[in-house]
């Protein structure tokens, strides 16, 4: 006797919400788990009461968020939504999650859509562990949902469209922007310009941010080769190196990011194969066009699989849900599939253009000074990693982790893994792929010691 | 919303996270780094784990994903890591 399959969607951002809605429409009652308090993910999350007085920020549309959340709530009867529920472990057929009550519960699953979103990619520079240094996404979240800026005078350092967007949003909120330091060069952007037209709206938004910064007299430095953050107890200044000259900007906070890293821990625990995307240096799960992994019943969508932005994430979520329905033997709307795939292809083209406009810095990590901390959880320096290669013959990041504890800490290498690989590849003089990647382990996020497992008989 | 840091009274705003409330009062969360240096959170979205603090009631919480509640009593001075 086989009833309806148990379908679980992990993550209620744009991809997860779109997938769940499509599944609910088809009469499946998906279980949706999200670590946040409400659906929408970081992009469509409720702007909290602290953010009420904020002026309109470029690229931020609270109306849209409200609309998307309301649409999700309309389906409440047909979607089992569990907010503040964090998946910590998964096997083929069952997953475990930690609720805000501190209880660990588990559920069996037949089909799983993983829509876990992304984290800013960071590059360690001297001083990046000082209080006052935060990720770009973190600074945006603080501003949009809490209505508070991480500093009074903030320096923005990194590369990518988010660098300019976050800086312009802070400017619009009345925060002083000390500098925007971008490791990419103007000529990268110029070369990519024709392809950036694949998404005119986002191109326009980028240009608008740039104009706002220029008009406010914010120095925008491109082609930055190195950076150092100074301060005794907290951030006091950032020093940027460009064309062998050093520029010092006083500031009380630094927001940094170099694009996004998909949060792929759940896929990794399920042994979904990954491949290194050479241009970005990111390890991405292998997917077909619809979002199927090679593990039967496991799908991935959104920034947690391919960082293409919120609009694309919603489409990828819907596309994955349609693939799931098709795999369940349902007839699906071929016209809608074609429409989604065409639009997604356009988003991918735009993402490739962005990757060319804002390439990951080639040398920043290879040239990190020995004394700079790479792994902030375990305080492992670039020198420790290089010694592990020279003296202990560490061949990849997993071996380096065993020797140095780099990536063994409580963030599980989310922040340091990619940089450690670049440092290793540079000193061993091998291709990045040979430096390998850190594998995920359960629990995917640390659990408070007090967490209790719900006895198996009451488990969902 | 009243709360305390090491017994000292402070006021946070409704809608603050525990982290944003603490950082409005001071610039760090205490010596959380393995070498005893100061930390103050980094990702602000629950992923880096650089913001675990202890509460007087014995709970250990990730400050950036914890909503501020009236009466919360945070202990930052302790030299014992909170995670
Ligand atoms: S600041 Fe990163 S988990 Fe709280």
Q: What is the mean pLDDT of residues B73-83?
A: 71
CATH no. for residue A384?
Answer: 1.10.10.1100
Among A42-46, A250-254, A453-457, top mean pLDDT goes to A250-254
A336: enclosing H helix or E strand: helix A334-357
Q: A411 CA to middle of ligand 1, Å?
A: 9
Is A217 found in the same domain as A244? Answer: yes
pLDDT at A301 over 60: yes
The tens digit of pLDDT for each residue in A16-52 reads 999 999 999 999 999 999 998 888 888 887 766 666 7
Given A311, A332, A353, the domain boundary residue is: A332
What is the C-alpha to C-alpha distance for residues A335 and B71, in angstroms, rounded to an integer?
56
Residue A416 has pLDDT above 70, yes or no: yes
At A50 the pLDDT is: 66
Q: What is the separation of C-alpha B7 from the centre of its chain, rounded to a whole number of angstroms?
A: 13
- Token pair in block for residue A266: 């759940």
Count of residues in chain A:
460
Each residue of B39-64: pLDDT tens digit?
A: 999 999 999 999 999 999 988 899 99
* Atom number in ligand 1 closest to CA B43: 2
In whole angstroms, give the CA distance from residue A398 to residue A407.
Answer: 9
Give the range among A38-42, A163-167, B26-30 with minimum mean pLDDT.
A38-42
Token couple for A255: 């927001």
| Domain end among A332, A348, A379 | A332
Question: Who lines ligand 1 at CB under 6 A?
Answer: B 41-44, 46-51, 62, 64
Among the partner residues B46, B60, B65, nearest to A448 by beta-carbon distance: B60
Q: Does position A369 have pLDDT exceeding 80, yes or no?
A: yes
- Mutate which: A34, A45, A50, A255, vs B, most B CBs within 10 A: A50
How many helices and strands, by DSSP H and E, does chain A display? 13, 23
CA distance A171 to chain B (A): 20
**Chain-wide mean pLDDT for chain B?**
89
Q: Are residues A220 and A248 in the same domain?
A: yes
A212 and A164 in one domain?
Answer: yes
Structural domains counted in chain A? 3
- Using a 10 angstrom Cβ sphere, with 0-12 exposed, 13-18 middle and 19 or more buried, the burial of residue A335 is exposed
Same domain assignment for residues A225 and A269? no
Q: Do residues A305 and A262 lie in contact, with contact meaning Cβ atoms separated by under 8 Å?
A: yes
Single out the residue in A243, A258, A273 at which a domain terminates. Answer: A258
Which residue is associated with the tokens 């997938």? Answer: A19
- Residue ranges of domains in chain B, CATH in brackets: 2-77 (3.10.20.740)
Q: How far apart are CA A339 and CA A351, in angstroms?
A: 19
**Which of the residue ranges A19-23, A180-184, A408-412, B71-75 would you say has the lowest mean pLDDT?**
A408-412
Give the model's pLDDT for residue A163: 97
- Counting every residue written for chain B, the total comes to 83
Q: What's the whole-number mean pLDDT along residues A357-367?
A: 91
Instruction: Give mean pLDDT, residues B68-77.
Output: 93
Of A37, A147, A379, which has the smallest distance from its Cβ to B33's Cβ?
Answer: A379
Confidence tier at A66 by pLDDT (50, 70, 90): confident
- Tell me: do A154 and A231 sit in the same domain: yes
Q: With cut-offs at 50, 70 and 90, classify the pLDDT of residue A453.
A: low
A133 and A243, same domain (yes or no): yes
Give the model's pLDDT for residue A3: 79
Residue A215 corresponds to which tokens in the numbers above?
């008009």
Residue A443 preceded by cis peptide, ω within 30:
yes
Which pLDDT tens digit goes with each residue over A85-104?
999 999 999 999 999 888 99
pLDDT at A39: 86
Q: Is B25's Cβ below 8 Å from some Cβ in A?
A: no
CATH number at residue A326: 3.50.50.60
pLDDT confidence band for B68 (50 / 70 / 90): very high
Name the percent of chain A lying above pLDDT 90: 73
B65 has a chain A CB within 8 A of its CB? yes
Confidence of residue A74 (pLDDT cuts 50, 70, 90): confident
- Under the banding of pLDDT at 50, 70 and 90, the label for residue B79 is low
- Would you state the pLDDT for residue B3? 96
Residue A1 has pLDDT above 50, yes or no: no
Does pLDDT of B83 surpass 80?
no
What Cα–Cα distance (Å) separates residue A24 from each residue in A19, A137, A290, A300, A440? 9, 31, 18, 18, 31
- Structural domain including A379 reads 367-435
């Amino acid at each position: 006797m086989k009833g309806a399959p148990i379908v679980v969607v992990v993550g209620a951002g744009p991809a997860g919400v779109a997938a769940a809605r499509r599944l609910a429409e088809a009469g499946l009652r998906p279980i949706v788990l999200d670590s946040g308090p409400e659906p929408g993910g970081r992009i469509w999350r409720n702007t909290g009461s602290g953010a009420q007085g904020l002026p309109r920020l470029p690229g931020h549309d609270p109306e849209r968020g409200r609309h998307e959340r309301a649409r999700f709530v309309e389906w409440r009867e047909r979607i089992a939504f569990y907010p503040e529920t964090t998946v910590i472990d998964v096997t083929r057929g069952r997953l475990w999650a930690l609720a805000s009550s501190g209880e660990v519960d588990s559920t069996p699953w037949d089909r799983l859509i993983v829509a876990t979103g992304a984290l800013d990619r960071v590059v360690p520079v001297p001083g990046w562990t000082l209080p006052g240094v935060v990720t770009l996404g973190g600074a945006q979240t603080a501003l949009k949902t809490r209505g508070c800026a991480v500093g009074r005078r903030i320096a923005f350092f990194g590369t990518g469209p988010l660098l300019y967007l976050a800086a312009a949003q802070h400017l619009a909120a009345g925060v002083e922007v000390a500098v925007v330091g971008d490791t990419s060069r103007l000529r990268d952007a110029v070369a990519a310009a024709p392809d950036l037209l694949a998404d005119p709206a986002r191109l326009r938004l980028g240009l608008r941010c740039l104009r706002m910064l220029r008009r406010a007299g914010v120095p925008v430095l491109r082609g930055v080769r190195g950076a150092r953050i100074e301060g005794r107890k907290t951030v006091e200044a950032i020093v940027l190196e460009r064309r062998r000259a050093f520029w010092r900007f006083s500031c009380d906070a630094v927001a940094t990011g170099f694009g996004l890293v998909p949060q792929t821990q759940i896929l990794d625990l399920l042994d979904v194969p990954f491949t290194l995307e050479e241009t970005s240096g990111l390890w991405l799960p292998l997917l077909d066009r619809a979002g199927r992994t090679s593990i039967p019943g496991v799908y991935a969508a959104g920034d947690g699989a391919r960082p293409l932005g919120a609009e694309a994430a919603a489409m990828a979520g819907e596309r994955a849900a349609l693939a799931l329905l098709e795999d369940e033997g349902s007839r699906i709307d071929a016209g809608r599939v074609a429409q989604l795939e065409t639009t997604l292809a356009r988003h991918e083209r735009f993402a490739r253009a962005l990757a060319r406009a804002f390439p990951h810095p080639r040398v920043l990590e290879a040239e990190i000074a020995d004394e700079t901390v790479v792994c902030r959880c375990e305080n492992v320096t670039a020198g420790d990693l290089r010694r592990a290669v020279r003296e202990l013959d560490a061949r990849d990041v997993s071996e380096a982790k065993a020797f140095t504890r780099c990536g063994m800490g409580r963030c599980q290498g989310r922040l340091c893994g990619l940089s450690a690989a670049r440092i290793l590849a540079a000193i061993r003089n091998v291709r990045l792929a040979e430096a390998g990647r850190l594998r995920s382990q359960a629990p995917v996020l640390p659990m408070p010691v007090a967490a209790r497992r719900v006895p198996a008989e009451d488990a969902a | 919303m009243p709360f305390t840091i090491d017994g000292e009274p402070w006021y946070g705003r409704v809608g603050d996270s525990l982290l944003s409330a603490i950082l409005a009062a001071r610039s760090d969360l205490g010596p959380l780094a393995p070498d005893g240096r100061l930390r103050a959170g980094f990702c602000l979205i629950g992923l880096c784990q650089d913001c675990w603090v202890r509460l007087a009631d014995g709970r250990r919480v990730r400050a950036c994903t914890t909503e501020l509640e009236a009466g919360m009593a945070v202990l930052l001075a302790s030299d014992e890591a909170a995670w």
